[in-house]
Amino acid sequence: MDWVSVHALTFDVFGTVVDWRSSIIHEGTRLAAAKGITHVDWAEFAVAWRAGYGPAMDRVRQSDLPWTHIDDLHRLILERLLVEFEIGGLSEDEKEHFNRAWHRLRPWPDAVPGLHRLKARYTIATLSNGNVALLTNMAKQAGLPWDCILSAELFRRYKPDAAVYTGAAALLGLPPERVMMVAAHKGDLWAARAVGMRTAFVPRPQEFGPGQQVDTAPESWIDVQAGDFVDLARRLGA
């Protein structure tokens, strides 16, 4: 692949940069200890919260909801899960703090060192369905050294809408072929490729927990595949 002409890398975040599952389990366990909640399987809760996210975005895509950012979608899902998991007695402040667990997600161990290496050679930006405040707070907390925070929120469209990818390249002042999308999910890469972006696949086999089936198979249409971000830096000459 010719990546000498690539100037910027844009990153999917949930699952690709940060380990949402273990982070939400950690936050749930802390909440449970503080509130004396003993009956909840937080691994199950974490996966259910994440599973609500696609359908919630679909409601926005289909105009069943007006534009709604991820913090508010997470909160909608949380309200439903608190009923389903029979978690009561949380104050508004406690719910809001728990909802913002998504601002405090922890990076995969290779993410920060890998991003530092990549940043030395490339412009590195988020390109996430997470809102700007979430991504900014997460970066500050986790030490993710982004050059620029780009979000679906800026375009009021959720990935994989083409407008998000073309909009990101335009804001970076680059033609799409000079931007490489980095993601753990092939659907994201496929949509980026469709507008002319380069693609890097970094599978995260542990995203949904141990022993889960995750598609890590190489694809001929993907430009580069790497084991983690440090490996990606090496493969991209950074």
133 near its own copies (CB under 8 A): yes
125 near its own copies (CB under 8 A): yes
155 alpha carbon, distance to own chain's centre? 17
76 near its own copies (CB under 8 A): no
Contact stretch for its own copies (CB under 8 A) within 76-84, 132-140, 184-192, 229-237: 132-140
Q: Is 134 helix (H, G, I), strand (E, B) or coil?
A: helix
Per-residue binding letters, 168-187, with its own copies (x by CB under 8 A): ---xxxx-------------
123 near its own copies (CB under 8 A): yes
Output 147 or 219, the one with its CB closest to its own copies.
Answer: 147
Among the listed residues 18, 60, 111, 134, the single contact to its own copies using CB under 8 A = 134
112 near its own copies (CB under 8 A): no
Among the listed residues 76, 81, 112, 132, the single contact to its own copies using CB under 8 A = 132
What does 91-122 look like in DSSP terms, one character per residue?
-HHHHHHHHGGGGSPPBPTTHHHHHHHHHHHS
Among the listed residues 48, 112, 113, 147, the single contact to its own copies using CB under 8 A = 147
Output 141 or 212, the one with its CB closest to its own copies.
Answer: 141
Per-residue binding letters, 34-73, with its own copies (x by CB under 8 A): -------------------------------------x--
Among the listed residues 43, 81, 90, 154, the single contact to its own copies using CB under 8 A = 154
Alpha carbon distances (Å) from 76 to 52, 72, 124? 9, 6, 31
CA–CA distance, 16 with 216 (Å, rounded to integer): 13
Helix axis angle for 70-84 and 42-51, nearest 10°, is: 130
Among the listed residues 139, 142, 183, 230, the single contact to its own copies using CB under 8 A = 139
Q: What is the dihedral of CA 134, 26, 142, 47, to 10 degrees?
A: -50
Task: Give the H/E segment covering residue 78.
Answer: helix 70-84
What does 181-225 look like in DSSP terms, one character per residue?
EEES-HHHHHHHHHTT-EEEE---TTTT-TT--------TT-SEE
How crowded is residue 212: how many other Cβ atoms within 10 Å of its Cβ? 11
Tokens of 170: 């335009």
CA–CA distance, 25 with 22 (Å, rounded to integer): 5
Among the listed residues 30, 61, 80, 140, the single contact to its own copies using CB under 8 A = 140
Contact stretch for its own copies (CB under 8 A) within 78-86, 157-165, 167-175, 180-188: 167-175
Binding site for its own copies (CB under 8 A): 71, 123, 125, 131-134, 136-137, 139-140, 147-149, 153-154, 171-174
